[in-house]
């Protein structure tokens, strides 16, 4: 194998790379309600606390109850909006963050719920549960501790 | 599932998908028809010149809701009947719309939920996750013909199989995690060792195949780590087993899938500190707003990964202070101290059976390191510095070659790498510089440049060119290296 052959391989690889683009369409971000179990009176919805929970750096509530954060699937508008506002990470950065974490052998990411209905149901049934759903989809079965709107976290 | 009746998910969705538009259509048409009919009907009783108080502008007559006739207006019985009918229809329409809105809002919520992709709380059944990373690539060394290390760095282009690492991540209990990481390799097929550069083939006949004559390469699995963690408290986690020594950045980041460059610092590849421990580690993390403090403390066998020959153990720790905001920074300090002993176990006699423990190598070892990491938007900076010393006990120096004994030695190394992720093409060029002070050869300086191409968060192409330059009198050891890798995380 000579240099020319390796050069062809390299140029081909770079060509593939340059064809990769980000085709994300600009769409309004959804407004989200951050919810916990109604019995969780000590939960605070400030951004720092949420970030620590959803980065699984903090795994317990102040009461000692196990925190059970629930994420929506990557690629959903709600997940992207939440990651940007709370973690300060773009979708790609968020994916990268969790890849790095697992390869380092760190604590696993939050559990993944397939849709807001599952988040709502699970949080309503789990004393340590915390998740986020589109605003307006909540009821008395959960407690809203924060609202994510326009990239900002507003504590309730 | 609650006791009250719920529609099956698919049925509810189908009904809503078909029913809501139809119902909305009916309601809209009815409402619009009523709205259109209303002015005409009222026109018969109310002079057109008299506007209805509170009605919208005339530009939107069709959408304007009909208002009650002004006081004093005279309405015929037919108009009154029509008005009553309109009011009834309007009320019905409003009620239907309200119920539709409720249904639409709760459709997702009331739908039969599919099971969680990952159970949020460990269930009775132990769970196991499999993931890992691998890299393949191309490498070529460039060096002079009289370089005495040609056997190690032959100047030939070669394709290489790097790491094929598999993680087995289990959670047998909500507070317990098991993690084993293994590396599949082609070793010891033609492997070089510290004492021999005569690699040997491990190819064997596959006697279990149909022909029995084809060759397969018998190879080994490298255990990277195998640990059990107790994670009940964030401030006090316990890890036991065979784990990566919490020291600096490189040993923790561990994989070129995470690290900026595939190039290994000399202090890592030559193990100025023991990169793994068999023992116990406690760790914890305490956030203070956007700041956080992390600690690790461990005790282990030191360099002896198997059974220890003495009661002397190695101790170490690491502390990291960080800020996790728009800019992410972390400053860490690591250290270790311990005594290593390597023993022979000769059998003195078989009858009676008598053995002995002869410690042939024993030395104290200590060292420390500082590290700094910064992430700001597309910028990544890493700096790490290590110094370590070995002091041998009299008569127990390591004999690394027949008649050659290792002196006490102090080794140090430092590197800094600066990378910037460009906003297009996933391109991340970087610069690296390293300074290494060893004992077996003159100090070296290693500038390096590279380019990472992030095809996706889990796939990268990594290219690196390094110039390894030794101080006098070892200039003939100089070499350069080109290394290209395709790295994938799975």
- Assign A6 a pLDDT band (cuts: 50, 70, 90): low
Query: What tens digit of pLDDT does each residue of B274-290 get?
Result: 999 999 999 999 999 99
Spatial distance between the Cα atoms of B471 and B480, rounded to a whole number of angstroms: 15
Structure confidence at residue B40 (pLDDT)? 37
- Of B196, B84, B171, B159, nearest to B121 (Cα)? B171
Write out residues 53-92 of A within 8 Å (CB-CB) of B: 57-60, 66, 68-70, 73, 88, 92
Flag whether pLDDT at B136 surpasses 90: yes
Which position has the token pair 């108080």?
A: B53
- Please provide the average confidence, as pLDDT, over all residues in chain A: 87
Q: What pLDDT score does A39 carry? A: 95
Instruction: Calculate the CA B349 to chain-centre distance.
Output: 54
Backbone φ and ψ for B182, nearest 5 degrees, come out as: -125, 150
Q: Do A104 and B157 touch (CB under 8 A)?
A: no
pLDDT at B48: 33
Nearest to A100 among B111, B258, B425 (CB): B258
Residue B441 has pLDDT above 90, yes or no: no
- For the residues A133-149, what does the mean pLDDT come to? 93
Q: Which of B334-338, B341-345, B367-371 has the lowest mean pLDDT?
A: B341-345
Contact B215, B205 (CB under 8 A): yes
Q: In B351-478, where do the E strands start and end?
A: 353-355, 358-376, 379-392, 399-401, 404-405, 409-420, 427-437, 444-456, 459-470
Yes or no: say if A70 and A54 are a contact pair by the CB < 8 Å rule. no
**Cα-atom radius of gyration of chain A, to the nearest Å?**
19
What percent of chain B has pLDDT above 90?
58
> Are B16 and B104 spatial neighbours (Cβ–Cβ below 8 Å)?
yes
How many Cβ atoms from other residues are within 10 Å of residue A39's Cβ? 12
- Cβ–Cβ below 8 Å for B120 and A129: yes
- Give residue-wise pLDDT tens across range B314-340: 999 999 999 998 899 999 999 999 999
Question: What's the whole-number mean pLDDT along residues B165-172?
Answer: 96
With 70 as the cut, is the pLDDT of residue B53 above it?
no
Q: Is B413 exposed, middle or buried (0-12, 13-18, 19+ CB in 10 A)?
A: buried
SS in 3 state form for chain A?
Answer: CCHHHHHHHHHHHHHHHHCCCCCCCCCCCCCEEEEECCCCCCCCCCHHHHHHHHCCCCCECCCCCECEEEECCCCCHHHHHHHHHHHCCCHHHHHHHHHHHHHHCCCCCCEECCCHHHHHHHHHHCCCEEEEEECCCCCCCCEEEEEEECCEEEEC
Query: How many C-alpha atoms does A37 have within 13 Å on its Cβ side?
Result: 17
- Over residues B471-477, mean pLDDT: 89
Min mean pLDDT across A139-143, B68-72, B391-395, B438-442 is at B68-72
The whole-model pTM stands at: 0.76
Please report the sign of the dihedral spanned by the C-alpha atoms of residue B110, residue B114, residue B118, residue B120. Answer: positive
Residue of B nearest to A59 (CA): B234
Kindly determine whether residue A115 and residue B292, on different chains, have CB atoms separated by under 8 Å. no
How many angstroms separate the CA of residue A34 from the nearest CA in chain B? 15
Average pLDDT over residues B176-181: 97
Name every chain B residue with its beta carbon within 8 A of the beta carbon of A44: none
Q: Which residues of B touch A110 (CB under 8 A)?
A: 120
Mutating which of A3, A118, A131, A140 best tests the B interface, going by the most B Cβ atoms within 10 A? A118
Nearest residue to B104 via CA among B15, B31, B198, B1: B15
Q: Name every chain A residue with its beta carbon within 8 A of the beta carbon of B167.
A: 102-103, 105
Minimum distance, in Å, between the CA of residue A121 and any CA atom of chain B? 8
User: CB contact, 8 Å: A100 with chain B?
Assistant: yes
Count Cβ atoms within 10 A of the Cβ of residue B77 and give its class: 0-12 exposed, 13-18 middle, 19 or more buried.
Answer: exposed
Q: List the one residue out of B432, B162, B437, B382 whose CA is nearest residue B272.
A: B437
State yes or no: pLDDT of A156 exceeds 70.
Answer: yes
> Is B254's CB within 8 Å of A92's CB?
no
Q: Rounded mean pLDDT of B242-254?
A: 95
Name every chain A residue with its beta carbon within 8 A of the beta carbon of B179. 105
| Model pLDDT, residue A1 | 47
Burial of B459 (0-12, 13-18, 19+ CB in 10 A): middle
Task: Write down the pLDDT at residue B75.
Answer: 59
Instruction: Answer whether A152 touches B (CB < 8 Å).
Output: no
pLDDT band at B459 (very low <50, low <70, confident <90, very high): very high
- What is residue B478's three-state secondary structure? coil
Beta carbons of B225 and A116 less than 8 Å apart: no
Residues in chain B closer than 8 A to A139 (CB atoms): 109
Lowest-pLDDT range of A72-76, A136-140, B447-451: A136-140
pLDDT at A4: 64
**Cα nearest neighbour of B180 on chain A:** A105
The answer to whether A20 contacts B425, with C-beta atoms less than 8 Å apart, is yes
Q: How many Å apart are CA B439 and CA B365, to the nearest integer?
A: 15
Determine the Cα–Cα distance for residues B102 and B124; give it in Å rounded to an integer.
Answer: 38
pLDDT higher than threshold 60 for residue A17: no
Select the residue of B113, B167, B326 nearest A118 (Cβ to Cβ): B113
Q: Point out which residues pair with B73 in neighbouring strands.
A: none
State residue A9's pLDDT score.
57
pLDDT of residue B66: 41
Q: If you average pLDDT over every residue of chain B, what do you get?
A: 82
Tell me the pLDDT band of A21, cut-offs 50, 70 and 90.
very low
Q: What angle do CA A129, B327, B463 make, to 5 degrees?
A: 105
Q: Is the ipTM of this complex over 0.85?
A: no
Asked if A135 and A31 count as a contact pair (C-beta separation under 8 A), the reply is yes
Q: B426: pLDDT confidence band, cut at 50, 70 and 90?
A: very high
Distance CA B488, CA B197 (A): 31
User: Rounded distance, CA B435 to CA B266, Å?
Assistant: 9
Which of A47, A53, A57, A105 has the highest number of chain B CBs within 10 A, making it the mutation to test binding with B?
A: A105
- The more confident residue out of B76 and B124 is B76
What is the interface size between A and B, counted as CB pairs within 8 Å? 124
């Amino acid at each position: 194998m000579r240099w020319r052959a390796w050069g062809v391989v390299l140029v081909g690889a770079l060509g593939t790379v340059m064809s990769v683009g980000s085709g994300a369409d600009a769409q309004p971000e959804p407004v989200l309600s951050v919810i916990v179990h109604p019995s969780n009176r000590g939960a605070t919805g400030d951004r720092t606390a949420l970030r620590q929970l959803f980065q699984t750096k903090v795994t317990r509530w102040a009461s000692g109850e196990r925190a059970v954060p629930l994420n929506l699937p990557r690629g959903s508008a709600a997940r992207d909006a939440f990651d940007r506002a709370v973690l300060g990470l773009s979708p790609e950065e968020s994916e990268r963050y969790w890849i790095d974490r697992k390869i380092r052998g760190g604590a696993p990411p939050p559990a993944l719920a397939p849709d807001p209905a599952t988040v709502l149901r699970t949080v309503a049934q789990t004393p340590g549960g915390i998740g986020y759903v589109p605003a307006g989809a909540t009821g008395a079965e959960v407690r809203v501790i924060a609202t994510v709107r326009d990239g900002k976290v507003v504590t309730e | 599932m609650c006791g009250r009746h719920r529609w099956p998910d698919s049925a509810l969705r189908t009904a809503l998908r078909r029913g809501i538009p139809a119902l909305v259509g009916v309601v809209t048409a009815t409402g619009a028809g009523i709205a259109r009919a209303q002015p005409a009907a009222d026109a018969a009783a109310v002079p057109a010149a008299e506007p209805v108080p509170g009605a919208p502008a005339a530009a939107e007559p069709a959408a304007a809701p009909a208002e009650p006739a002004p006081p004093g207006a005279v309405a015929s019985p037919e108009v009154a009947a029509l008005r009553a009918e309109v009011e009834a229809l309007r009320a019905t329409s409003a009620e239907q719309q309200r119920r539709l809105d409720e249904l639409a809002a709760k459709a997702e919520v009331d739908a039969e939920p599919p099971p969680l992709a990952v159970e949020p709380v460990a269930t009775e059944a132990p769970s196991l996750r499999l993931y890992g990373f691998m890299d393949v690539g191309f490498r070529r060394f460039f060096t002079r013909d009289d370089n005495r290390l040609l056997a190690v760095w032959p100047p030939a282009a070669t394709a290489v199989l790097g790491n094929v690492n598999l993680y087995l991540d289990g959670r047998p209990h909500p507070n317990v995690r098991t993690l084993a990481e293994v590396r599949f390799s082609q070793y010891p097929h033609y492997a070089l060792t510290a004492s021999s550069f005569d690699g040997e083939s491990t190819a064997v006949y596959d006697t279990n195949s149909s022909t029995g004559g084809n060759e397969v390469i018998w190879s080994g699995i490298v255990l990277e780590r195998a640990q059990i963690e107790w994670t009940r408290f964030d401030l006090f986690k316990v890890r036991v087993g065979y784990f990566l020594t919490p020291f600096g950045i490189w040993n923790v980041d561990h994989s070129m899938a995470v690290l900026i460059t595939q190039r290994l610092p000399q202090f890592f590849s030559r193990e100025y500190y023991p990169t793994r421990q068999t023992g116990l580690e406690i760790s914890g993390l305490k956030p203070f707003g956007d700041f956080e403090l992390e600690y690790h403390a461990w005790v282990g066998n030191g360099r002896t990964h198997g059974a220890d020959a003495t009661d002397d153990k190695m101790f170490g720790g690491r502390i990291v202070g960080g800020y996790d905001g728009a800019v992410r920074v972390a400053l860490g300090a690591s250290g270790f101290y311990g005594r290593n002993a390597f023993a022979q176990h000769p059998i003195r006699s078989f009858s009676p059976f008598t053995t002995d423990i002869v410690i042939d190598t024993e030395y104290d070892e200590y060292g420390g390191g500082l590290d700094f990491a910064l992430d700001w938007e597309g910028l990544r900076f890493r700096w790490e510095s290590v110094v370590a010393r070995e002091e041998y006990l009299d008569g127990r120096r390591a004999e690394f070659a027949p008649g050659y004994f290792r002196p006490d030695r102090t080794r140090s190394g430092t590197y800094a790498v600066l990378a910037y992720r460009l906003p297009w093409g996933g391109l991340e060029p970087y610069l690296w510089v390293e300074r290494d002070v060893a004992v077996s050869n003159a100090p070296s300086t290693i500038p390096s440049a590279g380019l990472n191409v992030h095809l996706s968060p889990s796939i990268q192409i990594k290219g690196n060119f390094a110039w390894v330059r030794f101080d006098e009198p070892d200039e003939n050891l100089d070499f350069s290296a080109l290394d290209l890798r395709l790295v994938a995380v799975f």
